[in-house]
Amino acid sequence: MTEQTNKSIKIEVNQLDFFYDQKQALNKISLEIPEQEVFALIGPSGCGKSTFLRTLNRLNDLIHKTSLKGKIKIDGDDIYHSSIDVVQLRKSVGMVFQKPNPFPFSIYDNVAYGPRANGIKKREQLNAIVEKCLRQAALWDEVKDRLDDSGTSLSGGQQQRLCIARVMAVEPDIILMDEPTSALDPLATLKVEELIHELKQNYTIVIVTHNMEQAARVSDKTAFFLDGVVVEVGETDQIFTNPKMKETEDYITGKFG
């Protein structure tokens, strides 16, 4: 059972609509995501999970002819208010993508890239950040003797953990993960899932997954998306035993499985 706590709400979404030109992708989404928990977004392909995830750090702003109604607040601040610094927002809300995307630099420079961009130049500071983040990503022991090797020389699972370390190096509050294990083998998937359990001690994590079993393993709460609508949301260990949820799962398995 999920431990019941009185954690603060980190992300509050209220009556969110999102459009690609005239096509509505999200319809009246309202969710509360507590701090230092893993919140899973599940549902079939094309149901709005990744679109919703990208609203949380405004990556959808980069797509032509999109629009949004409703509000998203992080720590009480409306992130779509005109006063918001989008660069700072994306620093505090990090993103891990579906396919590992290490920079074509050394392992060391992949992690040090963000701190350097934020003005940290002293080698001893960078060394400490790189080691700390690689340790947090459960990668340090595997790469500590080859930090000058290219990040692209690592295995797929190691690359994904390197990308997670790179995100942590800029000290975000929230980490978004868009199907972070879909390109990985089962062993690498297990390591990333174990890492997610560790990371929630310090971060709020929102993860998109098409894998219901993965959502059951890693998340505290789950929202089930279907056709741009949240059809079910609640504690993960309860939602997967809910008869209504079972009916929805059977529908999706029959239609999309």
Mean pLDDT check: name the lowest of 22-26, 86-90, 201-205, 250-254: 250-254
Position 5 confidence tier, pLDDT thresholds 50, 70, 90:
low
Per-residue DSSP letter, 5: -
Short-list 236, 174, 238, CA closest to 211: 236
* 75 conformational bin, left if phi > 0, alpha if psi -120 to 50, beta if neither: left
The chain-wide mean pLDDT, for the chain, equals 91
| pLDDT of the residue at 124 | 97
- Bridge partners, 24 (sequence order): 19
Condensed to tens digits (0 to 9), the pLDDT of residues 184-198 reads: 999 999 999 999 999
Given a contact cutoff of 8 angstroms between Cβ atoms, the answer to whether 103 and 110 are in contact is yes
Condensed to tens digits (0 to 9), the pLDDT of residues 81-116 reads: 999 999 999 999 999 999 999 999 999 999 999 999
- Bridge partners, 17 (sequence order): 69
68: its two tokens: 């949004």
| pLDDT of the residue at 7 | 81
| pLDDT of the residue at 174 | 97
207: its two tokens: 């993860």
Short-list 96, 74, 97, CA closest to 86: 74
- Residue 42 pLDDT exceeds 80: yes
Position 50 confidence tier, pLDDT thresholds 50, 70, 90:
very high
34: its two tokens: 């507590």
Angstrom distances, CA of residue 125 to CA of 74, 167, 169, 241 = 29, 17, 12, 48
Q: What is the mean pLDDT of residues 199-224?
A: 94
For β-strands 221-226 and 38-42, DSSP reports them as parallel
Tell me which amino acid residue 244 is.
K
Homologous superfamily in CATH for domain 9-252: P-loop containing nucleotide triphosphate hydrolases (3.40.50.300)
CA distance 206 to 66: 22
> Domain limits of the chain?
9-252
H helix intervals, the chain:
49-55, 86-92, 107-117, 123-136, 140-143, 156-168, 186-199, 212-218, 236-239, 243-256
- Residue 175 pLDDT exceeds 90: yes
